[in-house]
Amino acid sequence: MFYQPRCPFCKRAFQYIDELKNEYPELKDIEIEAIDEIEFPDIADSYDYYYVPTFYIDEVKIHEAGIFKPEMEDLLRKAL
């Protein structure tokens, strides 16, 4: 997951992740590598995206930009 610390959509994405992991025990063990694109621009620049939050699974972009809770649940289930 690429994010920016001040991004309200990123903050909401983290909130949804926490809520969903608490609601669905099968999602608790999913590990998300969160990369701050401001702190690690070299890593961020090696990926093809424009908006945050952006999620990749196995180097494949699966979501870019603002996200709603049902979309986040779908994303986490894909990561299973």
Confidence of residue 51 (pLDDT cuts 50, 70, 90): very high
Mean of the per-residue pLDDT values of the chain: 97
58: which 2 tokens?
Answer: 């196995």
Residue 79, judged by CB atoms within 10 A of its CB (0-12, 13-18, 19+), counts as: middle
Confidence (pTM): 0.92
50 is written with which tokens? 């424009």
Residues with Cβ within 8 Å of residue 64, at least 6 apart in sequence:
49, 50, 51, 53, 54, 55
Q: pLDDT over 90 for what percent of the chain?
A: 100
